[in-house]
Amino acid sequence: MSNKGPLSVYKGLPRGIYIIFISRIIDNMGSVVMPMITLILTQKIGLQKDITGILATVFMVTQAPFLLLGGRLVDRMGSKKVIVLFNTLGALAYIPCGFMKPSIGMALLIALAANLFAVAAPAYNSIVIELVGEDKIKSAYSILFLGYNLGLAIGPAIGGMLFNKYLQALFFIDAITCLISVVLVYFYVPDNSLKKKTGSAFKLNESALRLIFKSPMLIVFSILLLGYNFCYSQWGFMLPLQSASLFLENGAKYYSILVSVNAVCVILFTPILTHLTQKFRPLSVVTIGGLFYMLSFLIFAEGKILFIFIVSAAIMTIGQILININVNIYIAQQVPQAYIGRANSVLSIVNGAGVAVGPVIMGYVLLRISYETAWFIVAGLMLLGSLGMFALNARRYHFLKANNH
């Protein structure tokens, strides 16, 4: 019986995947600087909120070319080398901050580190393709998503405890844990990039955007995914504002409870949902995940007590798990191995664009309508996105069926 439980989906993976799982936990347990960036800019450096908002947007925008660079380097050098090199450089950029007083110079070094980490970001998705076969790809993405969130469940809490009195220590913690994770990858994860790319039509000069534009299905998928992330961004923007408006002085505390519920549900539900959806096509699962998002947004619209918000947060987390794992699988199925790094860099930009644009647009909308109406709008957009994914999935199914005859 135990062999058929939810955790059985993680059996039989290559050792390299387990090592990356551990390294992601360690790295994100020490990820204590970026969650505190807004407070560092305002409370420590002393910037006004409007300037902080502009800088936060600039930080995100400047990461786009670094993500594209990372995708190209993954396809040229292999994922392992990119992870080791640029995570090391990012960690080293944090170390001088540990000796500095809060200043614009500190902010610039944080931005530099974030851009260096952005170069490595596409490699974490691409390395899965290099290490596992198609039959294990969903399990591999699932365990790495689990490891990422296990670390994040701890890291921000550490940052919050140390922020007021020991700001400089945060930079050393982040750098050291990142370097430990790099050492694990360097010594214990094999480099299979050349083996996987041998014999492929390997065109290093082709851009990621040109690759996307060659495939109408990838264009539609990218647009729909942008909408998904626009709607998801309201979890971190509209929900805390609504919580403060509804629960007044308890708003921040209650929202932090919802964040904890999200983290716990990711840990508990990821193996179960991976087990249950093992045989499903990726876009079918992404469609279902979108419907879970929509349902949670409708509940947020009508919520008046904390318990209802907790239930809705759990429902939203189910959608989050289903979507995050299966989006990566769809990209892996659609894109030739030689282009996977560049494709993942575009995926990262699309995700970031949705999250960046969502608060800007809905912040403007909330000046004119209630939270309830705003959530209904977001839920409606989510339904449209889910229907789009359903149609795209049906088209791909008929295309594959026609090619098999």
Indicate if 199-405 has the same CATH topology as 12-197.
Answer: yes
| Domain 12-197 of CATH type 2.130.10.10 | no
**Model pLDDT, residue 205:** 52
The alpha carbon of 253 is separated from its chain's Cα centroid by a whole number of angstroms, namely: 24
Q: Are 254 and 243 in contact (CB under 8 A)?
A: yes
CA distances from 209 to 116, 333, 344 (A): 21, 18, 11
- Quote the CA–CA distance of 250 and 209 in Å, as a whole number: 45
Domain ranges of the chain: 12-197, 199-405
Rounded to 5°, the CA angle 103-106-111 comes to 130
**Model pLDDT, residue 401:** 58
- Quote the CA–CA distance of 340 and 200 in Å, as a whole number: 12
**Model pLDDT, residue 203:** 52
**Model pLDDT, residue 22:** 95
HEC assignment per residue over the chain: CHHHCHHHHHCCCCHHHHHHHHHHHHHHHCCCCHHHHHHHHHHHCCCCHHHHHHHHHHHHHHHHHHHHHHHHHHHHHCHHHHHHHHHHHHHHHHHHHHHCCCCHHHHHHHHHHHHHHHHHHHHHHHHHHHHCCHHHHHHHHHHHHHHHHHHHCCHHHHHHHHCCCCHHHHHHHHHHHHHHHHHHHHHHCCCCHHHHHCCCCCCCCCCHHHHHHCCHHHHHHHHHHHHHHHHHHHHCCHHHHHHHHHHHHHHHHHHHHHHHHHHHHHHHHHHHHHHHCCCCCHHHHHHHHHHHHHHHHHHHHHCCCHHHHHHHHHHHHHHHHHHHHHHHHHHHHHCCHHHHHHHHHHHHHHHHHHHHHHHHHHHHHCCCCCHHHHHHHHHHHHHHHHHHHHHHHHHHHHHHHHHCC
Looking at CATH, the fold of the domain delimited by 199-405 is given as Growth Hormone; Chain: A; (1.20.1250)
Q: Which residues of 329-366 are buried (b: 16+ CB within 10 A; e: fewer)?
A: bbbbebbebbbbbbbbbbbbbbbbbbbbebbeebeeeb
**Model pLDDT, residue 271:** 92
pLDDT in tens, the chain (405 residues): 345 677 888 998 999 999 999 999 999 888 888 877 877 888 888 888 667 767 777 777 888 889 889 988 988 888 999 999 999 999 999 999 999 999 999 999 999 999 999 999 989 988 998 898 888 889 999 999 999 888 877 877 788 788 888 889 999 999 999 999 999 999 999 987 665 554 444 455 555 566 666 777 888 898 999 999 999 988 888 888 888 888 887 877 788 788 888 888 998 999 999 999 988 999 999 999 999 999 999 999 998 899 999 999 999 999 999 999 999 888 888 877 777 777 778 788 888 888 878 887 888 888 889 999 999 999 999 999 999 999 998 886 665 555 555
**Model pLDDT, residue 245:** 85
